[in-house]
């Protein structure tokens, strides 16, 4: 087990308490590292027997001034959306990145662990692990294992403590969390709660924001096309959520446009902040946003500020240029426009002009998150929308992000349409595309059902007996399937192509055919990969779990440092960013939801990005996450070829097709059965 991971476990227990699943590691640190409350114990601790546990002596390092990072108490929530917290996180990340050697980083972490808010500490340490060259092979611990209280029903914890205190590791049984634990179907939005509250989806979102922080030292923020990836990842989340809604007879999400109107969607998260023994505040139906006056968070802004930023950004989009901080005008063109706009709108620390365009998306999260107590009169912390770990649970997340997407769409609508020439791949035709479900009798039928998985949350349980304690959750799953694609190459030589596979619903909420204009925005990416095309006909076979969108289930449900490391660069590298495999497909319906499977093979010589191959670049989920420490591995605009308005004369998906594309009609059929937990590596 990795020492850094041990430092991130059970963060309310002081460092000198034994670590590891069975108390096998004991950290001995300089007395001055300890919390002042525990320093009188120093002598006792130095002489104490470690009961056979391995002792790790951490050398004393000179830790620079922690500055603002110590201002957040142990018992508060931490959120990057709040500028005061961003400054704390930035300072801490700077300190960790600045430690010359790995051992110094480890020791500085131990020092900070005793003084810093646990969520802030875990965030900064995880960012540093991802960005230090010497910790490339260190797994970033699974946040659901460290902080189960941000993912699981609060009522689990007393039950699990009882289990762990009374029964030994061999006798414990998983605590079963039912599928419906936050609401009932009286609330229509609850029909898609399994998506909003999915552990894997929430982990993917948390991890994405860990890999692409919008604030922090420049090396952490300033990454290739990060603004565009912010656009694309969230665009895909909305498309996937809409697909899920159509699978449950709900209309597509309504954008949250008028911020003075009440929000009809309520949300009662039932999460406990066990570190602080506080619940996450709910939001009643018809709550209204108000001006935020949270002096406690050094945070004061008005709804009018949001509206002003929105209008300025819209002006920029429609005039196709932005004004940089320096006063210089920069075009929002087809190459860099979306990236510049993404950084402005989010906003990130590399926004071209934060004074003018503000911090719209982040402050929208904050305004919604404080709607229950905007001036701190009740001393309530922010709600789930205030933390990227929990934000996706709330129905309003999707309404807010649909608004954000609509600004990006306005920009995309100003760009030239793709011409037939830009879409084609000369000499290459896709003859046929289909999917085959394992055990299925008909082609082009995808199948989903429910499945249980166990997750060990013992590392998130402070002051509890050691050894694994499992909770059993129920989530969506699909039956394994394979893509079969037939491609003919008559170009007169070997060619290389990029296969791009998308899926979109065929019918809208009224069960009428979707126009291509609308359907275009509902395509979810299923896979993208490179192929070699020999002259003649190639038969391409691609499995569901090879998808460039997803990560394998063990990365969602396991803390990966528990398993023996695989060969470097192998499939089981330690990267948690990516969509969970079990949520690759929408649920579909019992009668079978009709959908369009779209397959395109583009010319790899135009897609290719020149860069040295690098082991452990976290390549599994690259469609939504890019490659760690490298450029985004596809030169085309993200979402290509569905990202722009279609050329004139194209009214249907069929009209859109060029010979290197094919469409198959598929159905996604859901069976209401639940399978037991599957063994994982």
Residue positions annotated with a catalytic role: 346
The CB-of-78 to ligand CUO minimum distance in angstroms stands at 15
- Map residue 45 onto helix, strand or coil: helix
The CB-of-399 to ligand CUO minimum distance in angstroms stands at 12
- CA–CA dist 522, 525 (Å, integer): 10
**Of 658, 609, 656, whose CA–CA distance to 631 is shortest?**
609
- CA–CA dist 86, 88 (Å, integer): 5
Q: Are strands 550-551 and 579-580 parallel, antiparallel or unpaired?
A: parallel
Closer to ligand CUO by CB, 85 or 234: give it.
234
Which residue has 């709330």 as its token pair?
394
- DSSP bridge partners of 532: 496
Who contacts 617 (Cβ-Cβ below 8 Å, separation ≥6)?
627, 628, 629, 630
- CA–CA dist 510, 607 (Å, integer): 38
Which positions from 398 through 437 interact with ligand CUO, judged by CB under 6 A? Answer: 401
- DSSP bridge partners of 475: 451
- Map residue 624 onto helix, strand or coil: helix
Q: How far apart are the first and last CA of the chain?
A: 16
Closer to ligand CUO by CB, 27 or 81: give it.
81
Q: For 395-549, where are the E strands, in sequence order?
A: 428-437, 445-456, 470-478, 481-489, 495-505, 524-533, 536-543
Closer to ligand CUO by CB, 209 or 412: give it.
209
**Of 113, 106, 142, whose CA–CA distance to 16 is shortest?**
113
The CB-of-195 to ligand CUO minimum distance in angstroms stands at 15
Cβ pair 146, 8 in contact under 8 A = yes
**Binding letters toward ligand CUO, positions 476-495, x by CB under 6 A:** --------------------
Supply 151's token pair.
Answer: 């993912």
What does DSSP assign to residue 415? S
The CB-of-230 to ligand CUO minimum distance in angstroms stands at 7
Is residue 341 involved in binding ligand CUO (CB under 6 A)? no
Buried b (16+ CB within 10 A) or exposed e, 230-269: bbbbbbbbbbbbbbbbbbbebebbebbeebeeebebbbeb
User: How is 195-249 classified by DSSP, letter by letter?
Assistant: HHT-HHHHHHHHHHHHHS-SSSSHHHH--TTHHHHHHHHHHHHHHHHHHHHHHTT
- CA–CA dist 84, 77 (Å, integer): 12
Out of 107, 202, 247, 388, name the contact with ligand CUO by CB under 6 A: 388
Which positions from 72 through 131 interact with ligand CUO, judged by CB under 6 A? Answer: none
Is residue 205 involved in binding ligand CUO (CB under 6 A)? yes
- Map residue 321 onto helix, strand or coil: strand
- DSSP bridge partners of 184: none
Out of 365, 495, 528, 636, name the contact with ligand CUO by CB under 6 A: 365
Which positions from 224 through 263 interact with ligand CUO, judged by CB under 6 A? Answer: 234
Out of 99, 160, 391, 596, name the contact with ligand CUO by CB under 6 A: 391
Longest CA pairwise span in the chain (Å) = 82
The CB-of-269 to ligand CUO minimum distance in angstroms stands at 16
**Binding letters toward ligand CUO, positions 206-225, x by CB under 6 A:** ---x----------------
| Packing angle of the helix pair 337-346, 303-319 (nearest 10 deg) | 170
Closer to ligand CUO by CB, 15 or 391: give it.
391
Kindly list the distances between the CA atom of residue 380 and the CA atoms of 203, 276, 282, 372, 581, in Å, as whole numbers in the listed order.
25, 12, 11, 8, 36
**Of 502, 433, 446, whose CA–CA distance to 479 is shortest?**
446
Closer to ligand CUO by CB, 108 or 385: give it.
385
Kindly list the distances between the CA atom of residue 604 and the CA atoms of 199, 229, 433, 531, 635, in Å, as whole numbers in the listed order.
35, 20, 19, 9, 9
- Which stretch of DSSP H or E encloses residue 363? helix 360-369
Is residue 34 involved in binding ligand CUO (CB under 6 A)? no
**Of 432, 40, 75, whose CA–CA distance to 275 is shortest?**
75
- CB atoms inside a 10 Å sphere around CB 364: 24
Total residues at interface with ligand CUO (CB under 6 A): 8
The CB-of-392 to ligand CUO minimum distance in angstroms stands at 7
Supply 189's token pair.
Answer: 């939005």
Sign of the Cα torsion 338, 339, 340, 344 reads: positive
Give the binding site for ligand CUO (CB under 6 A). Answer: 205, 209, 234, 361, 365, 388, 391, 401
């Amino acid at each position: 087990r990795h020492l850094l991971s041990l430092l991130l476990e059970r963060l309310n227990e002081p460092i000198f308490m034994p670590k590891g699943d069975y108390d096998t590691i004991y950290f001995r640190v300089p007395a001055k590292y300890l919390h002042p409350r525990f320093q009188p114990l120093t002598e006792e601790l130095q002489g104490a027997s470690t009961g056979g546990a391995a002792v790790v002596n951490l050398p004393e390092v000179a830790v620079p001034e922690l500055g603002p990072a110590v201002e957040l108490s142990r018992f508060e929530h931490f959120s990057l959306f709040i500028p005061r917290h961003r400054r704390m996180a930035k300072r801490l990340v700077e300190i960790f990145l600045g430690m010359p050697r790995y051992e110094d980083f480890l020791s500085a972490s131990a020092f900070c662990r005793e003084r810093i808010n646990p969520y802030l500490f875990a965030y900064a340490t995880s960012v540093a692990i991802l960005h230090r060259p010497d910790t490339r092979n260190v797994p970033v611990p699974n946040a659901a294992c460290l902080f189960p209280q941000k993912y699981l029903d609060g009522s689990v914890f007393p039950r699990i403590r009882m289990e762990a205190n009374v029964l030994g590791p061999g006798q414990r049984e998983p605590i079963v969390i039912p599928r419906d634990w936050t609401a009932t179907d009286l609330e229509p939005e609850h029909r898609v709660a399994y998506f909003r509250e999915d552990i894997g989806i929430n982990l993917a979102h948390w991890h994405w924001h860990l890999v692409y922080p919008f604030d922090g030292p420049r090396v952490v923020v300033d990454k290739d096309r990060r603004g565009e990836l912010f656009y694309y990842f969230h665009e895909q989340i909305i498309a996937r959520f809409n697909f899920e809604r159509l699978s449950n007879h709900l209309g597509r999400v309504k954008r949250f446009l008028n911020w003075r109107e009440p929000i009809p969607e309520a949300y009662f998260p039932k999460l406990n902040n066990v570190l602080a023994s506080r619940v996450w505040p709910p939001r009643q139906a018809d709550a209204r946003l108000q001006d935020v006056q949270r002096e406690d968070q050094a945070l004061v802004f008005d709804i009018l500020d949001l509206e002003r930023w929105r209008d300025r950004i819209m002006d920029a989009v429609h005039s196709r240029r932005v004004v940089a901080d320096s006063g210089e005008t920069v075009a929002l063109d087809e190459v860099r426009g979306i990236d510049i706009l993404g950084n402005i709108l989010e906003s990130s620390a590399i926004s071209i002009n934060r004074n003018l365009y503000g911090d719209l998306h982040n402050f929208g999260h904050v305004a919604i998150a404080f709607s229950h107590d905007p001036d701190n009169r009740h001393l309530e912390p922010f709600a789930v929308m205030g933390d990227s770990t929990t934000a996706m649970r709330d129905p309003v997340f999707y309404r807010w992000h649909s608004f954000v997407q609509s600004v990006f769409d306005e920009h995309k609508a100003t760009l030239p349409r793709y011409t037939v020439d830009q879409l084609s791949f000369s000499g290459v035709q896709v003859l046929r595309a289909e999917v085959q479900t394992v055990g299925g009798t008909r082609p082009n039928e995808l199948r989903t059902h429910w499945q249980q998985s166990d997750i060990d949350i013992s590392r998130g349980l402070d002051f509890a007996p050691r050894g694994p304690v499992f909770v059993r959750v129920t989530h969506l799953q699909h039956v394994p399937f394979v893509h079969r694609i037939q491609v003919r190459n008559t170009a007169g030589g070997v060619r290389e192509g990029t296969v791009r596979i998308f899926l979109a619903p065929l019918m809208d909420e009224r069960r009428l055919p979707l126009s291509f204009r609308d359907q275009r925005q509902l395509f979810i990416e299923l896979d993208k990969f490179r192929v070699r095309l020999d002259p003649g006909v190639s038969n391409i076979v691609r499995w569901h779990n090879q998808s460039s969108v997803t990560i394998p289930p063990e990365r969602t449900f396991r803390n990966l440092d528990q398993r023996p490391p695989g060969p470097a660069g192998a499939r089981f590298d330690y990267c948690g960013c990516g969509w969970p495999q079990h949520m690759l497909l929408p649920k579909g319906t019992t009668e079978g939801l009709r959908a369009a499977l779209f397959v395109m093979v583009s010319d790899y010589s135009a897609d290719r990005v020149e860069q040295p191959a690098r082991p452990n670049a976290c390549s599994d989920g690259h469609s939504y996450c890019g490659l760690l420490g490298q450029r985004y591995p596809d030169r085309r605009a993200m979402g290509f070829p569905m990202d722009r308005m279609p050329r004139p004369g194209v009214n249907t998906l069929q009209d859109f097709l060029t010979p290197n594309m094919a469409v198959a009609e598929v159905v996604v059929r859901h069976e209401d059965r639940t399978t037991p937990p599957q063994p994982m590596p």
